[in-house]
């Protein structure tokens, strides 16, 4: 983009050439003023065009501009609150009121949705996290401390039941939303063709980060959608609220029979042999990261993987020049309901 000073000189030369007969007169001195005005107009125009060029494309736009232009076509995924059931213990006949607050060790607060009465020494109550986010997810057996005042005779702790407290999802990051917008643009208008259902599934809730579709899953022609959460760089997670995915597909996809199920993580244990001179803690961490990236890029239900593919993923010719990588079998094929992820690594010397 030309500078303002350069544009002023260009405009002055242009105007002076047009008004050359006025040279040497008082009016000629006004040409510099006219040049400045014209140059400023050009400068602002090219500045606005540069900003527009930056904001019109999803890969360079600011997050606010991204939302402004794309919110209707690619709605941002909102965070959700975790929910589940807990068990209170105590004296028969005593009640736990609706709204009773419970606290987890991580500071997350939960409230009892409906009042329950203790029978046979215990009572199960539905609870929901006060704040949305993944920090509200708790495993079965977790203890919650009662924060509200309860009648004497009710235990001050409640225990999360089988199934845990699940479904809490943190809001998607700016980068994740930007990636979804870019993916939406690359795939074009969705009509229900191959790949569209899995793309819609990823757009359904922030809990879903990956999805795969399998047409004609059964004799009824059902399309099976397998969904997963998390990341291979951290941890692949199950999707608790698959019904939300199904509801979203019912709204946006052409009428068809669809079944949605959460993928189950299948850890793949590896035996890796390195040259002693290259075997160090730093090298091992480097290899772990590369294996994570390999699964991130290639893991899917019904995928087939070989030792050679994993070996190629960790070699770089400098830090790791020679290595062997062994799975329990090679090739290994994953079934339709599982997604491979990194397991235990056994380190040995070549």
Q: Does 70 reside within a domain?
A: no
Task: Tell me how many domains the chain contains.
Answer: 4
Name the band, by pLDDT with cuts 50, 70 and 90, for residue 64: confident
Looking at every residue in the chain, the average pLDDT score rounds to 85
Range of the domain at 319: 266-349
Domain final residue pick, 244, 262, 280: 262
- 258 and 284 in a single domain? The answer is no
What's the CATH number where 255 sits? 3.30.300
- 99 and 123 in a single domain? The answer is yes
Q: Does 222 reside within a domain?
A: yes
pLDDT tens for residues 297-335?
A: 899 999 999 999 999 999 988 889 999 999 998 899 999
- Residues 9-23 have a mean pLDDT of 64
- 146 and 132 in a single domain? The answer is yes
Q: Does 179 reside within a domain?
A: no
- pTM of structure: 0.59
Say yes or no to pLDDT of 26 above 60: no
- 276 and 254 in a single domain? The answer is no
- 222 and 285 in a single domain? The answer is no
* Beta strands 258-262; 109-112: pairing state: unpaired
Say yes or no to pLDDT of 21 above 60: no
Q: In a 10 Å sphere around its CB, with 0-12 CB exposed, 13-18 middle and 19+ buried, how is residue 155 labelled?
A: middle
Say yes or no to pLDDT of 52 above 80: no
- 197 and 258 in a single domain? The answer is yes
CA 127 to chain centre: 26
Beta-sheet strand order (sheet of 323-326): 323-326, 264-274, 338-349
Q: Does 229 reside within a domain?
A: yes
Q: Does 48 reside within a domain?
A: yes
**3-class SS of residue 21:** helix
């Amino acid at each position: 983009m030309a500078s303002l000073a350069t544009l002023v000189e260009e405009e002055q030369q242009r105007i002076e050439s047009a008004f050359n007969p006025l040279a040497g007169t008082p009016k000629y001195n006004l040409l510099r003023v006219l040049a400045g005005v014209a140059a400023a107009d050009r400068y602002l125009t090219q500045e606005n065009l540069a900003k527009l060029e930056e904001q019109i494309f999803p890969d360079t736009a600011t997050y606010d501009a991204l939302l402004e232009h794309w919110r209707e076509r690619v709605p941002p995924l909102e965070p959700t609150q975790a929910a589940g059931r807990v068990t209170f213990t105590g004296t028969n006949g005593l009640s736990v009121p609706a709204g009773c607050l419970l606290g987890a060790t991580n500071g997350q607060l939960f409230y009892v949705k409906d009042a329950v009465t203790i029978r046979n020494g215990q009572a199960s109550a539905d609870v929901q996290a006060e704040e949305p986010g993944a920090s509200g997810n708790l495993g079965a057996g977790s203890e919650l401390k009662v924060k509200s005042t309860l009648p004497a005779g009710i235990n001050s702790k409640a225990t999360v039941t089988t199934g845990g407290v699940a479904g809490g999802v943190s809001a998607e990051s700016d980068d994740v939303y930007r990636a979804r917008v870019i993916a939406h643009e690359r795939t074009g208008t969705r009509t229900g063709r191959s790949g569209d259902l899995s793309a819609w599934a990823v757009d359904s809730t922030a809990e879903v980060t990956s999805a795969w579709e399998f047409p004609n899953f059964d004799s009824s022609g059902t399309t099976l959608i397998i969904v997963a959460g998390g990341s291979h760089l951290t941890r692949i997670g199950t999707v608790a609220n698959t019904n939300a995915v199904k509801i979203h597909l019912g709204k946006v996809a052409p009428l068809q029979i669809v079944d949605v199920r959460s993928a189950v993580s299948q850890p793949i244990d590896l035996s890796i042999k390195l040259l002693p001179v290259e075997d160090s803690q730093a090298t091992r961490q480097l290899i772990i990261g590369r294996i994570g990236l390999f699964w991130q890029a290639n893991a899917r239900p019904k995928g087939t993987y070989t030792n050679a593919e994993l070996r190629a993923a960790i070699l770089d010719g400098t830090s790791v020049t020679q290595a062997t990588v062994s799975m329990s079998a090679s090739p290994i094929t994953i079934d339709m309901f599982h997604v491979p992820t990194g397991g235990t690594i056994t380190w040995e010397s070549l």
